[in-house]
Structure 1
Amino acid sequence: MIAGLLVTCAVLALRAPAATHAATSVPPPCRMVPPSPYRPKEMTMLWHQGSYHLFYMRLNVILPFDSTTRDLGHTTSGDLIAWEEQPVVLDRRPTQWDNMHIWAPSLLVTDSLFYLFYTGVTYQPPAYNQTQRIGIATSKDLYNWTRYPQPIFDCSDAPWTFCNPHTPWGGNFRDPIVIPHPSTTGHWLMYYGAMVDSTTGQMMIGVAESDGDLFEWEDRGPLLNTGEAYTYGRTIESPAFAFVDGTTYLFYTTESGLPINYQTTTNLLGPPSQWTSQRRLEWEVPNTSRLFGCEFYVHDGETLFMAANDFHRSIDLYWVEWGTAPHFAFETPMVTAVKDASEIAGGPRVRVLDGAFGSGRVEFQVEVSHTMTCKLDLFDVSGRHVKRLLDRALPPGSSRVSWNGELDGGAAAAGLYLARLSTPVGSSSARALWTPGR
């Protein structure tokens, strides 16, 4: 393994108050700087077995563009400060469909497997002339990956996109991110950037849906609020989501001088009229105009923002302090200043929110760091399983699960019950006292 760069971060003595308006200054980030001569681009992150795992595009600044971004970097850290480079993953395959470039990784955890979605670029003229398509790989340990032999989604599956694989680049189709469907249990939504018009170069964010099989997807058309009339630009790529107290934040990168922009909504599947007007990251957090290709990661209920910095050739990392939508602020991710060690070392967590919704119910709060399948089970004091409260994928962050006192065999008797959260990356337990009519 290659030793990573030790990055120092300024210490914040106190957490900032919740943001309610744009900040006037921004604290320094932590920076992950890959070994020379590489510059990082789009990235994805996961906390696993005591370490943050960061996967990222690697651009060799010495080589011509056609000869680089041919694998994904993998680096690990226990504290977001000192990073250690691991062997690269997903090298391009000269005789397969992803033989030219490997771009835009995006992680998902479910069913005890890690799924890595990515963009592969095919150069096999005359049939494929630098054609962008979406692929998938799976792993049980984050180090050894098995790729699905064919792309799982491309422009031929989305008739609203420009699709001509014979022409150079053949229509842009890249940067996948997968989240749980907000209203259909067991289904997934995939968002990606795609070209609509080859003459103008207009792109939009597209949507596809899976009924649970992550290798099979159906087109759901473009996200209409990402057209030029709403984003004031033709290039739009690298979608990223944050879910905060019922509000969905959609971030993306454009070709403007302030590349990271975002919109918010309380209805992810709603029409453009239910989305706010586009806002720029720079309006909320000054001095961020050199950032692009952002991503969010939630760990122990805290949101980590990360983005590529083309000036420092780094990935910059901040904790996000969410305010009243659509406002937020950034904080330096210094572990000893922002979070205590026990929080950083934690995994999935369940706790009881006593009385959160009035009488006759117990509310549990489930916190996970990444989209993953979660099971929440109840046991009585003898250890007997009495009820499954949850068995589905949850998005990053905090979710609430309600129990009304019903068990598999009838109504619960008064007493103490144990709730156990099980996920592919760990478990957690909490005790709940049930009183009928509470």
Structure 2
Amino acid sequence: MSKKTGMVAVSRRALLRGVAAAGATVLAGQAMAQTAIDELINAPRRGNWDDQFDAKASRTVAGVVSNNPMLSPNNFINMQQAITDYQTIVANGGWPQVNPSIKLRLGAVDPSVQVLRQRLMISGDLPRSAGLSNSFDSYVDGAVKRFQSRHGLPEDGVLGEFSLKALNISADVRLNQLNVNFQRLQDTLAKPLEARYIVVNIPAAYVEAVENDQVALRNSAIVGRISRPSPLVSSKVSDIILNPYWTAPRSIVEKDIVPLMQKDPTYLARNSIRLIDGNGNEVAPESVDWFAPKAPNLMFRQDPGKINAMSSTKINFPSPDAVYMHDTPTQGLFNKLMRFESSGCVRVQNVRDLIVWVLKNTPGWNRQQIERVIASRVNTPIQVSDEIGVHWVYITAWSAKDRVVQFRDDIYEKDGDQQLALQTNIGQEQISGSVEDDILPQ
């Protein structure tokens, strides 16, 4: 690492400590931010930044969201353009570090705002016509929101700790990140994609359903934690299971279920998990020695229902790691900013929308029929009629739109620069009474 890069190295340990709580209030924060804007618009006196106030600039995160899929051959030209742009930025000295003495938000006046303006202009988030005053006006507010959107952060317009950490990653580090991910994109797209396919971008923690090179759905996801990462996958959907049984893998039985049963002998019964022997007979939990040196050689199978670890739906596809995609009974986890909490499988928000899309060419399975079967609580496998690809990828930097570059944290430390990686898995390994829902039910 260069001396310059080392000087701006960012510790993400503090970032992760607070980010889960912040993610749970993203929507509320955005609403409060807009209320503050409205109050400022209607205020009789707006201070010395009045001549740089434009409500439209503050309300719009312009041009960041795109219906172009992240995983597409058409993005090679966008990535090449992004790399060229960042090479130019680095050649011209990069961007300045922003070190404010106050919390920077709409209405603030501070010399560090001028530096912030320079930083946002260089990265293309703020028009150069906005000027270099010390006032955090609506143009800066809109630019900060655009920056936050490009980095997967809450779009609240406030330059808090999390946004500041991302803002102060140096341009040369970001350039290297782009180069690393361009190679990943090339490797992933070495084989042609299907006409319809599902992409899980692990570091972005979201799912895209793509049809004819356009995003039909984009859903938030929960992906593998650092110690139990989600693997790379290239496969095809084989079947959908409505009201699935959940069978615990041996590793989960040993690491999680047995210790829980040692603490609480009612755990299996409370969570509708049955023990099945090799002959298909049910075994009473109280007949098992839970303190034996080895875990019992039994199947641990959970009945369908609301508390089932996969809730209403499981999406199957062949995989060496036996992973899958599924629903979850704990929907509140999708409100978190850092959604790296699973045991390797992927939980999908609004998964019923996704299975309706998957099954749209499978006769007899419209939304009404899907909902009726789910309501029945009857385990129902459905073979999928057409070819739908499944691709789990690890892309932390990409461009799906001309000169709009997206960056995400290098959660699994694959990008080659420590400051891009989250340094710890604080809190995610602590199990108190339950485990994440593709491991155990809540």
TM-score normalised per structure 2: 0.22
Structure with a larger share of its residues in helix:
2
Point out which structure has higher relative CO (alpha carbons under 8 A, 6+ apart).
2
Normalised to the residue count of structure 1, the TM-score between the two structures is 0.22
Considering only CA atoms, is the larger Rg found in Structure 1 or Structure 2?
2
